[in-house]
Structure 1
Amino acid sequence: MFIHKIDEDLSLKLIELRDGERIYELTNNSRGYLREWLPWLDATIQLEDTIEFIKICLKGFAENKSLNTVILFKGKIVGVAGYNSINWSNKTAYIGYWLGEEFQGNGIMTRVASALTDYAISELNLNKVEIRAAVGNKKSRSIPERLKFVNEGCIRRAEWLYDHYVDHIIYGILAEEWNKNSQAFIQL
């Protein structure tokens, strides 16, 4: 099983079926908050929907195409983060994440994104990590910006969000850029 300790309070653990109830509860408790920027909330209306998501995550992990984890903060699941996909041909990982509303403002996601970036480059020997976020999602965009990812451009109408399209900003960092400044990032 994959477990990655980030610091005393924070770690990442491979998502498992037994995490389903907690993830569903966290989703429900943060539904209104998460719905502003995540398109899957209306399709996650019962525990079975979360279980199906976890099954898809585990299949992706078994096929070496993705790595989705639960975020453990002081031993409690507070969100989900990982590589939504890994392109081994191009040596690129694509990070995605969400955090329960009540856990915002603790620097959790910046430390998680830093750890995932470092792991992709140091352990998986990937050349690039990308994070995409909706133009208006300032909280999500601030994470790659804090970590010195480069704004590589905007994809217009990249995602249908319930009743409208949103544009996405693509952020990327190359292994050489990360390695040059990694100690500053890791210690966040």
Structure 2
Amino acid sequence: MISIRIDEDLELREIHQKDRKKLYDVVDENRTFLKRWLPWLNYTKSPHSYLSVIKSWQQNIEMGTGMELGLFYREELIGMCGFTTIDPNSRRAQIGYWLAQDFEGRGLMLKTVKQLIDHGFKQVGLNRIEIVCGEMNYRSRKLPEALGFIPEGVMKEYEFLYDHYHDCILYRMLKSEWPY
């Protein structure tokens, strides 16, 4: 089981089927808040919705093509953070993250992503890590910018959000650029 300790209160760890009710509950409690930037919320209508999702996350971990992990604060599931895709041949990955609204503004996700990047470069052997953020999602963009990621460009109409396309910014960090 993958577990990355961030600090004494915070841990990233693999999500299992037994976690699907907790996962559904935190998503459902934050649905309106998260729906502004996450395109998949209409597909999660019950804990049962996560059966195949969690199975695919576990398969991606086994195959080395992804590592989506739950973020636990004092054993409470408060969000997710991980490598949504890993290209083992190119040693490249993309990070995705979301956090329950009550936990925003505390620096928890910044600490978590920093530790995940370190894990990616040192343990997974990655050379390039990307983060894609909605161009107008200024809160999310603060994270890669605070960690020194380089914006590589705006991707026009990159993602569909329920009733419209929106532009996204691609940020990158190379192992040779990682200052930590």
TM-score, normalising length from structure 1? 0.93
Cα distance, 1:52 vs. partner?
2.2
Amino acid at match of 1:34: L
Structure 2 match to 1:73: 73
Q: Which moved more, 1:48-57 or 1:112-121?
A: 48-57
C-alpha distance in structure 2 between counterparts of 1:91 and 1:76, whole Å: 32
Cα displacement string for residues 84-125 of structure 1 (whole angstroms, at most 9, x for unaligned residues): 010111111110011111111111111111011111101111
Which blocks of at least 5 consecutive residues in structure 1 are unaligned? 183-188
Amino acid at match of 1:132: V
The answer as to 2:130 corresponding to 1:130 is: yes
Structure 2 match to 1:116: 116
Amino acid at match of 1:81: C
Structure 2 match to 1:26: 26
Q: Could you tell me the percent identity over the aligned residues? A: 33
C-alpha distance in structure 1 between counterparts of 2:51 and 2:104, whole Å: 25
Count of residue correspondences = 180
2:13 alignment partner, SS class: strand
Cα distance, 1:51 vs. partner?
2.4
TM-score, normalising length from structure 2? 0.97
Matches within 5 A, 1:34-73: 34-73=34-73
Cα distance, 1:46 vs. partner?
1.2
Which blocks of at least 5 consecutive residues in structure 2 are unaligned? none
Structure 2 match to 1:168: 168
C-alpha distance in structure 2 between counterparts of 1:47 and 1:10, whole Å: 24
Where in structure 1 do 4 or more consecutive aligned residues deviate above 4 Å? none
C-alpha distance in structure 2 between counterparts of 1:167 and 1:121, whole Å: 28
C-alpha distance in structure 2 between counterparts of 1:11 and 1:94, whole Å: 20
Structure 2 match to 1:153: 153
Q: Is contact 2:64–2:88 with CA below 8 Å preserved after alignment?
A: no
